[in-house]
Structures are given as structure tokens and as C-alpha cells.
Amino acid sequence: MKTIKKVLIALLLVANLALLAYYMVGIKDAPQVINAENVTIIEAPDQKESEIHPDFIKEEFVLILPEGENIALGKKIKDNGFTDVYGANRANDGNVDGSSYWEGKDYPNTLTIDLESATKIHAIRVALNPMSIWSKRTQTIAVNISLDGENFTDLVGAKEYTFDPDTGNQVQIPFDEVEARFVQLVVTDNSGAGGGQIAEFEIYSK
């Protein structure tokens, strides 16, 4: 009986070796002939330390704020609806970190700041959290102004703006100097969420 077992084991071993040899021969590719005329020789650079390919180097972004002072900081602000806990008061508190942002509910979303008195303004900056976790997105925004808070006129028509972490996740909207007390943003689309998102709504006066 022991002899039969030994013979069977020997036969199985021989069979496995034969199968292995068969597949090794079967999958072996035929040698390829390389024509020297089709070979391009590229000289290696004289590299003495590790280098990053230029295509992978991001140009450092330097934020340049609009001229003048942000007069929207801490002023009365209201919206026409917000999502969860992200109310209007988070959009002009001087903070873009963490959960300090406003998020609208149903389009069109409006965010309105009362400057307390008629003031000459010339630019608006809209910012999101600059961290890359706030990925690149577009938002369609229009700007309206008013002197009484009831009757608004168009200042800047609706336009699609790109918010990109590589450029500070912010956009600046310049315009000819105009007098206004109430300044309103109207958001009608956001590719990154179901409602408009603004971490800081800044209004600049010289």
C-alpha cells in the first residue's frame, strides 16, 4: 500500500512538472527584432539631485485684494433661506474656515447685506474655504443694489464664476463706482452643491 502511495505521488509530481513546462513554453513570446533605424537615443540630463517635472509644479497663488476696505464685515446680513445650520451670519464674519459658510436652500438664493448708509462701492469679493477639500466648482451669481432695501436694480448680470483652490477659491467682481446701501447676491446654480455657497461676502469701498 505504501509503495502504491509513493508511486501515485511520484506520478502527480511528474504530471505537474510536465504541465508547468508546457505552459512556460506556450506563453513564451517570440524574440522581437529591433531595427536600429527606428531607435531614438535621448541623452539623459545631468541631474545631481531629485527634480520635479515642470508639468507637476503649481504656480504659487498670491492673493491681491480689491482696493480699499471691506465694509461688509460684521454688517447686518439676511438670506431668503438656508440649508441645515449654514445661515447668512456665517458669510460676513471674517472667517472662511470649517463650517463658517452660508449655503442657500431653494434657487434663486439671495444674500443681502445692509451697509447701514448709502456708500460708494466698486468691487465685491466672494470666497469659499481655500482648502483643496473644497474642490473646484462654478457658481452662477448676479449682483443687485438698492437704497431702500425694497427696490433693487441690476448692477452685474448673472454670470458663471469658477472657484478653484489653486487660485484661492475666490472670485472678484469689479464694477464702476456706484452708491448703494443694500447689496445683494443672487445665486442660481452651483456645480458643487444643491445651493449657493459663500464663506465670505466682501464689499469694497475706497
CATH of residue 158: 2.60.120.260
pLDDT digits (tens, 9 = 90+) for 104-121: 999 999 999 999 999 999
Comparing CA positions, the residue from 147, 151, 92, 155 lying closest to residue 117 is 147
In 3-state terms, what secondary structure has residue 92?
coil
Give the model's pLDDT for residue 21: 58
Segment 155-183 shows an average pLDDT of 98
How many distinct structural domains can be found in the chain?
1
Residue 138 has pLDDT above 70, yes or no: yes
Residue 169 belongs to some domain of the structure: yes
Considering only 16-25, 97-106, 119-128, which range has the smallest mean pLDDT?
16-25
Written as one string, the DSSP assignment of 26-75 is HHPPPPPPPPGGG----PPP--SS----GGGPPPPP---PPSSEETTTT-
Give residue for cell 443672487.
Answer: 186
Q: State which amino acid sits at residue 40.
A: T
Residue range of the domain that includes 86: 66-205
What is the tens place of the pLDDT at every residue in 25-78? 555 556 677 777 777 877 766 767 777 766 666 678 899 999 999 999 999 999
Within a 13 Å sphere around the CA of 167, how many CA atoms are in the beta-carbon half? 11
